[in-house]
Amino acid sequence: MSMIEFKSVSKSFGANVVLDKVDLSIDQGEVVVLIGPSGSGKSTLLRCINALEEINGGDLIVDGINVRAGKAKVREIRLEAGMVFQQFNLFPQLTAIENVAFGPRQVRGMSKTEAVKLAAELLAKVGLAERMNNFPNELSGGQQQRVAIARALAVKPKVMLFDEPTSALDPELRQEVLRVMQALAEEGMTMVVVTHEIGFARQVGTRLIFMENGHIAVDGPPRELIDNPPNQRLKEFLQHVE
C-alpha cells in the first residue's frame, strides 16, 4: 500500500486551478524531490498532504487515512506528516528543547520527563546537544532549521514534508540542514521535499517530480532526469537553478 496516494486531486483558489487532477502515489521510504517554477503548485501539494489545505476534488489518502474523512481524521493526518517550512516558525519565547518537547506533550500526551528526554535525543541527533537551552534568536538560521526538524520529528511522523527548507539560509548554512535531511532519508523516512538544491535531488532523492501549472510534468529517477532532461522546459529550469 502507498504511504501517500493522490487520486485525481484538484485544488482551486477561486477561479485559480492550482492542482489539476493530480495522480501521484508515494511509497514508504521514497524521497521525492519536488521542483518547478514559482506558482506551479508545489507548496499547495505539500499542504494538502497534511491537510493544511482542503482539496476540492478527487481523493487523497495518507497512510490509509482519507483527508476528506472529517475533522478527527484530519488531526490524525497532522500527526502522521511532519512539516518543515522555509521560515523556521519556532516559538520565540521557548528554548530549543522546549520547542521540541512541546508537540509530544500537547498532541501525544507524553509526560514532561518523557518529552524532555525525547527532545534531548532529537536535538543531539541534529547536532545541537550543546544548544538545547538557547532561544531561537540565539541560534543561527541553520541551527534554527535543525531545531524545526527535531520538533517535527518529535511527534513521530511517518512522513516528513519540507517546503524549501534551505531557501532562507545563507549558502554556508545550507549544508548542515541538508546533511540532517540526508541522514533522515538514509534511516528510511518517507520524505517529500520542495527544494532548488539539485545536488540534494541527485544524491538523496529517489524520485524527482517537475511540476508545471498544477500538474506533474515529469516524474522519474533524479540522476537520469537531471543528466538528460526529457523536455526543454525541465532543461531550462535546471539551467536556471544550478
**Which residues form the interface with Mg ion (CB under 5 A)?**
42-43
Q: Between β-strands 207-212 and 31-35, what pairing exists: parallel, antiparallel or unpaired?
A: parallel
- The entry of ligand ADP, Mg ion, none that residue 39 binds, CB within 5 to 8 Å by partner kind: ligand ADP
Among 13-21, 103-111, 170-178, 230-238, the segment contacting ligand ADP (CB under 6 A): 13-21
Give the Å distances, CA to CA, from 40 to 77, 78, 221, 234, 241.
24, 24, 20, 13, 15
Residues 14-73 that bind ligand ADP (CB under 6 A): 16, 18, 36, 38-44
Tell the smallest beta-carbon distance from residue 51 to Mg ion (Å).
Answer: 17
C-alpha cell at 102: 512541546
Tell the smallest beta-carbon distance from residue 203 to ligand ADP (Å).
Answer: 23
Tell the smallest beta-carbon distance from residue 40 to ligand ADP (Å).
Answer: 4
C-alpha to C-alpha distance for 16 and 24, rounded to whole angstroms:
21
Stated length of the chain: 242
C-alpha to C-alpha distance for 6 and 82, rounded to whole angstroms:
18
Sign of the dihedral defined by the CA atoms of residues 146, 148, 151, 153, in that order: negative
Q: Which is nearer to ligand ADP, 8 or 134 (CB)?
A: 8
Tell the smallest beta-carbon distance from residue 85 to ligand ADP (Å).
Answer: 12
C-alpha to C-alpha distance for 207 and 86, rounded to whole angstroms:
21
Q: Which is nearer to ligand ADP, 17 or 74 (CB)?
A: 17
Tell the smallest beta-carbon distance from residue 234 to ligand ADP (Å).
Answer: 15
Residues paired with residue 35 on neighbouring β-strands, in sequence order: 210
Among 10-18, 74-82, 100-108, 168-176, the segment contacting ligand ADP (CB under 6 A): 10-18
Lateral strand order in the sheet of 31-35: 81-84, 159-163, 190-194, 31-35, 207-212, 215-220
Q: Check residue 190 for interaction with ligand ADP (CB under 6 A).
A: no
Residues that bind ligand ADP (CB under 6 A): 13, 16, 18, 36, 38-44
